[in-house]
Amino acid sequence: MVRGLHGPVFVGPELDHSVRVALTEAGIEVVGDLGFCESPRVAITIDPTVIPPTVEWVHCPFMGVDSLLGHLPATVQVLTRTTVGMPERIGSYTSTAVAAERWGFHTYYQRQSQHLWEQTILGGLPDPSDSSAVQDLSAVILGTGWVGSAVAQGIRTQFGDLVGVSLSGESKPFFDRVLPFNKAPWEEADCVIGAVPLTPHTSKILGEQVFLRLTGAHLVLVGRGATVDFDALRVALDQGQVRHATIDVYPVEPIPDGEWLWDHPHLTLTPHISGLTIPSDIVSAFLAVRDDLLAGRTPDVLVNFRRGY
């Protein structure tokens, strides 16, 4: 049992002031300067370097916890994360990305910059307005957890076959089938969606071996940037195994100036907006977990240290 659940909560300096205000309004004593409070047992932060050495429970304000794992003080027994609203936003983003690519928006953005008024018949892609035209199309979603499931729900009407890929291959709702990674039908994919957390097992999991099996798929990346081998992606884009890539997450953010990603004609880049963290989400998630811990319940968003998510 985490001690100090009724005591002060350390809030990392990287978080918006509105988080502190909302917690205070909820009756939580918020501290950020350890020189003026008793040693806190609870912290909300993404930065392991600021966590007080007395903390036993860390709540991550975001969904991804890879920056915390392996860097937490030895006193930390419980790590939880914020998922409120984020999977649904990522599902909406992915659905939008799929539709925009099918309509050829990336082509029209380029023509707009050149002041060109030129219409194009969809180049071999299904008519986005014809629901029957997508029934033969397959989407392969790498990751069947919170995010992957929300993505599957978001794109349900845009594909006839939704294939989930996970380490276990265990059946999950919202997918037509779920397969282990070594049995994934990459050759069948009209769209591949990367929606896995970053762990030692998923680092650069979308790389040359996967891209060589694709036959002109659209890649959408909403999980973690380091799950893709970007050197291999560049080759796949140039050779046509990936016809277009919509990327929202990157190994280094922001993308460095001069990086090839900025100028590739078959890339759509967005600045990590698909799962934006809203301060109210952080507060509501934290309070829900606190209630669970006080009641002796296991929170749904409890992180498994061994699995990394």
The DSSP element (H or E) to which 85 belongs, if any, is none
Entry pTM: 0.91
pLDDT at 136: 87
Q: Exposure string (b/e) for 173-207, b if CB count within 10 Å is 16 or more?
A: ebbeebbebeebebebbbbbbbbbbbbeebebbbb
Which residues is 162 bridged to in the sheet?
A: 139
pLDDT at 36: 47
The DSSP element (H or E) to which 44 belongs, if any, is strand 42-44
- Mapped onto helix, strand or coil, the DSSP state of residue 267 is strand
The DSSP element (H or E) to which 113 belongs, if any, is helix 105-113
Nearest Cα neighbor of 155 from 209, 230, 203, 222 is: 222
The dihedral formed by the CA atoms of 188, 190, 196 and 199, expressed in degrees to the nearest 10: 60
* Band (133; pLDDT cuts 50, 70, 90): confident
Whether 123 has a pLDDT exceeding 60, the answer reads: no
Q: Are strands 138-142 and 189-194 parallel, antiparallel or unpaired?
A: parallel
Mean pLDDT of the residues in the chain: 93
* Band (119; pLDDT cuts 50, 70, 90): confident
The dihedral formed by the CA atoms of 293, 298, 304 and 309, expressed in degrees to the nearest 10: -90
pLDDT at 35: 47
Lowest mean pLDDT among 33-37, 44-48, 121-125, 141-145: 33-37
Domains observed in the chain: 9-85+278-294 (3.40.50.720), 87-269 (3.40.50.720)
pLDDT at 39: 82
The dihedral formed by the CA atoms of 75, 201, 167 and 293, expressed in degrees to the nearest 10: 10
Q: Which residue has the higher pLDDT, 33 or 260?
A: 260
pLDDT tens digits, one per residue of 166-219: 999 999 999 999 999 999 999 999 999 999 999 999 999 999 999 999 999 999
pLDDT at 231: 98
Whether 129 has a pLDDT exceeding 90, the answer reads: no
pLDDT tens digits, one per residue of 159-177: 999 999 999 999 999 999 9
**φ/ψ bin of 46: left (φ > 0), alpha (ψ from -120 to 50), beta (otherwise):** alpha
